[in-house]
Homo-oligomer: A and B are copies of this chain.
Amino acid sequence: MSEAYLHPMALVETENIGVGTYVWAFAHIMKDVTIGNNCNIGDHVFIESNVRVGNGVTIKNGVSVWEGVQIDDFSFIGPNVAFTNDRFPRSPRLDDAKSRYGGKSWLSPTIVSEGVSIGANATILCGLTLGKYCVVGAGSVVTRDVPPYRLVYGCPARMNGYVNKRGEVLKQVGDHFVQPVSGKHYLLYNDAEMRELTP
């Protein structure tokens, strides 16, 4: 496939959609959105102006990506995941709230780093960073930053272990990690890179 595939029932108002990317039915991509190559954007997805989506990203159905949410390469956003971009939302038409919505100071950004997986129906509060390759369990409510390669879940989401790039849950053994099925060993370098150890 040499171009993007835009479903005839998708509403796409940007031209910045990469090669090999699919946009499915009833999705709405606003203008001034950039989407990389080889992404899969599901039915009923909405992406707001000024959002940048990386390469190889999967966004399942029913997700709205608001301005201020950055979606890095190869991440997976499950169905009905809810992002936010305002810690104290009020209707901007409310007299007491109007002044707050004059500029963009209310906007609180969120970073979904490379390779992150967010399970179905999770809620991601704003002003947070989801670290590389972390996994958020389905139905979780994320209220704090998640460091790289962690598994978190629950309401609110709590640390429940470590994963590798494949998303497999690892067992901690002393200062390193083991994938129980394959027996492969890993080390987490600088709390930033989970590297497989060669025997």
- Please pick, from B42, B44, B79, B82, the residue contacting A26 in the complex, using a CB distance under 8 A: B44
Complex interface residues of chain A between 137 and 168 (CB less than 8 A to chain B): 138-141, 154-156, 164-168
Closest to A37 in B: B93
Structural contact, B56 and A43, CB atoms closer than 8 A: no
Q: Does A38 contact B (CB under 8 A)?
A: yes
Q: How far is the CA of A65 from the CA of B136 in the complex (A)?
A: 21
The total of chain A residues at the interface (CB under 8 A) is 62
Structural contact, A64 and B43, CB atoms closer than 8 A: yes
Q: How far is the CB of A43 from chain B (nearest CB, A)?
A: 5
Complex interface residues of chain A between 110 and 159 (CB less than 8 A to chain B): 115, 117, 119-121, 123, 125, 135, 138-141, 154-156
Structural contact, B80 and A64, CB atoms closer than 8 A: yes
DSSP majority for the A interface?
Answer: loop
Structural contact, A93 and B123, CB atoms closer than 8 A: no
Structural contact, A84 and B89, CB atoms closer than 8 A: no
- Please pick, from B25, B43, B55, B138, the residue contacting A123 in the complex, using a CB distance under 8 A: B138
Closest to A76 in B: B91
Using known A-B contacts A64-B62, A82-B80, A121-B123, determine if residue A38 contacts B93 with beta carbons closer than 8 Å. Answer: yes
Query: Which A residues are closer than 8 A to B by beta carbons?
Result: 9, 11, 24-26, 28, 38-40, 42-44, 46, 55-58, 60-62, 64, 66, 74-76, 78-80, 82-84, 88-94, 96-97, 100, 115, 117, 119-121, 123, 125, 135, 138-141, 154-156, 164-169
